[in-house]
Each structure stands twice: as structure tokens, then as C-alpha cells.
Amino acid sequence: MKDSMAKKSSWEEFFDIHAPVYNENVFTKNTIREVDFVIEQLRLVPPASVLDVGCGTGRHSVELARRGFAVTGLDLSAGMLAQAQAAADDAGVRAEWIHCDAANFSFSKRFDAAICLCEGSMGLLGQADDPIGQPLSVLCNISRSLKPQAGVLATVLSAARMLRAHSNEDVSAGRFDPLTLVEFGEMPPREGLPAVAVRERGFVGTELRMLFLLAGLSVRDMWGGTAGNWGKRPLDLDEYEIMVVATKTGEPSAGAEALLRQTNSRVVSGDSDVNRVAR
């Protein structure tokens, strides 16, 4: 396992502590059906190579490896990757595990497909992440890692639910920003432990089409994608996730590179919402 991480981000801190109990979450109970769905939608045939971005405890990676796929799992949390390695050992399968931030990785090899599930990385913002630059960086990195016409399946938080759930009082209190679609909050990584300050970002469908296209990925389907309730169905306004199925049709565009330079400049200068804190 390679390590390209330095100082821990808030999400890395959270997941390192949460890792031993992650699989107790209710949304982790449909791995077999979810992997069936991934294989069907991405038209995968063993021994195709699959990149799992934000692989967590490896529940999808290990099941794909069990079915004969060559899997590389990437995650920012060493604690989650340790759980993934243990799961692979228990299943008697092999996978490659990479410890790094999904907004900052590259591979010399190219994969046949990529998955990024259960908000594996897109929209899980560190305190210094730009709300546009972070997800676009993740998508560009995924795109550069794929062979032409490779498939991508990702799930991200739905902004529709966020907008319906929050009030003007939440905006005034700094708990939600309707312009960036970012929630500011605190979550304890395990029961009885101090809360960690985190930032999560929601998305709308039109924006997702543009972000994917800038990264060289053409969206072919978008559905409701809440974990435990996947299917080819319209998005319910109150559900947590949107599913995106896309195909690599090009490389990240000049527009994507320009936008990333602009957002990186804003973060360095402090001219963004990244300096806000939950109150």
C-alpha cells in the first residue's frame, strides 16, 4: 500500500476512527446487489480492471475481486484501508490498496472502469477544499486513469434534499450555504467520542452533467442512487444520493484546467467559503 498523505484532513480523522464500525451502518447491507448492478450497468467482464475511488472498507472492491476482477481501491483513510485489507484476507482475494486523497492522484496504467460510491470522495470537502475544484479534480483524476470508452458509476449527495431540509435560519447560522450547496456540521466518528467538524457538498443534475463533461466523461444516465435503494428510477426529492453512469469519451478539457487553476487561486487567497466554520 502506497502512502501519499501528509497532515490528516477532517474527513481522514473522522474515517480513521469510524473505520472499525463503518460496516455496522445500515446502508452497507446490500453489497451483493450493488455489485450486481455495477457489473450490469458498466458491462464488466472478468478479468477487467476496476478503480474504486473512495473504496472505504472495501466492501465493493472485495466482492468485485471475488468475482475475478482486478481491483485497485483508493481511499484517504488508512483506517478504512486496513479494514479493506482484512476483508480481502478473509475472502481469500487480492486487491491493490492506495492511500491518498482522491483529488490528488494519478496512475501510469489505465483501467477498464471506475466506481465512486456512497459519496466515496466527491463532495466530502476538507476545510481547505473549494466546492467546485474538489469534485472536478476527482473527476479529472478518474478520467485520466481510464481507457477510452471505459464506464464510470458514481453516487453523490443530492442538493435537492439539502435544499428541502434546510431553512433560512440554517443559512444565517452558517450551517448551510445555498450558493455552494455546502452543509457545515459536526459528527462524532463513534458513539461517545468528540465530534469532528466536516463539510459536505450536494449536487444537482445539470451541474453534474457539466462537471463530468469537463472531465471528459459523458453522462448517459442519472437516477436516484441512495445506498440500499438503487435502481433505474427518477430521483426522489427527499433521498440522499444521485447516481451517475458515464462513459469516458475524451480527456479533461482546457476549460476544466482553467477552472481548477481559478479555484486553486481562490483557496490560496482565501476568497472562497473554505474559511467558514460551522457554528
Specify whether the CB–CB gap between 182 and 201 falls below 8 A: yes
CATH 3.40.50.150 for the 2-156+202-269 domain, yes or no: yes
Q: Is residue 51's pLDDT more than 70?
A: yes
Higher pLDDT, 5 or 189: 189
- The owner of cell 462513459 is 247
pTM of the model: 0.92
The pLDDT, as a whole number, for residue 120 is 86
Percent of the chain with pLDDT over 70: 92
Grid cell locating 5: 498523505
Q: Residue 272's pLDDT is what?
A: 47
pLDDT digits (tens, 9 = 90+) for 239-272: 999 999 999 999 999 999 999 999 887 665 555 4
| Residue at grid coordinates 451483493 | 32
Closest CA relative to residue 227, chosen from 61, 38, 69: 38
State residue 119's pLDDT score.
87
Q: Is the pLDDT of residue 201 over 80?
A: yes
Q: Measured between alpha carbons, how far is 4 from 14 in angstroms, rounded to an integer?
A: 18
Taking only the tens place, the pLDDT of each residue in 105-118 is: 999 999 999 999 99
Residue 266 pLDDT: 65
Number of neighbouring beta carbons within 10 Å of residue 111: 21
Instruction: Please state which of the ranges 5-9, 172-176, 217-221, 250-254 shows the lowest mean pLDDT.
Output: 5-9
pLDDT of residue 232 exceeding 50, the answer is yes
CA R_g for the chain: 18
b/e for 38-74, b at 16 or more Cβ within 10 A?
Answer: bbebbebeeebbbbbbbbbbbbbbbbbbbeebbbbbb
Strand partners, 196: 187
Residue 279 above 50 pLDDT? no
Q: Report the length, in residues, of the chain.
A: 279
Cell reading at 163: 435544499
pLDDT over threshold 50, residue 5: no
Q: What is the pLDDT of residue 267?
A: 60
Q: How far is CA 57 from CA 42, 62, 200, in A?
A: 22, 9, 20
Side-chain-facing half-sphere of 70: CA atoms under 13 Å: 7
- The string of pLDDT tens digits covering residues 117-166 is 998 899 999 988 999 999 999 999 999 999 999 999 999 999 999 999 99
**Amino acid (one-letter) located at 163:** L
Range 209-221 average pLDDT: 98
CA distance 216 to 248: 6
Q: Which residues pair with 153 in a beta bridge?
A: 115, 245
Please give the pLDDT value at position 189.
96
